[in-house]
Amino acid sequence: MLHQGRFNGRLIVPGGDFCGPYKHVFAWISDDYGQTWRVGESVPNPYQRITPSENAIVELADGRLLMSERSHEPGWRWQAYSEDVGDSCESAKGRN
């Protein structure tokens, strides 16, 4: 649950679609305490050949969200920031 700003109380849950050829991660978002849910935009994957397998989300002190993605390939990880509390993300960096 977010604790700051205009979207105080928003529920954010990391999610992903790991079936099919275009695997991706995203955030499930609820603004009504879980009554209804919607999916935020997919997190950009700077390594299209790398398959995401899990993600985590944290609310930063400045109100942005940091989404951290890990791949099932050993050592691959990338991060993205959301300036709009989960609706979209921008890739920040990756490493192997």
Q: Could you read off the pLDDT of 52-87 as tens digits, one per residue? A: 777 889 999 888 888 888 877 777 777 888 888 777
Distance CA(75)–CA(36), nearest Å, equals 36
Residue 32 lies in a domain: yes
- Assess if residue 41 is contained within a domain: yes
- Entry pTM: 0.76
Calculate what percentage of the chain has a pLDDT beyond 90: 15
Range scoring the smallest mean pLDDT among 5-9, 46-50, 66-70, 91-95: 91-95
Tell me if 61 is assigned to some domain. Answer: yes
Domain count of the fold of the chain: 1
Q: Is residue 6 part of a domain?
A: no
Name the residue range of residue 19's domain: 11-95
In 3D, which of 8, 4, 9, 13 has the Cα closest to residue 61?
Answer: 4
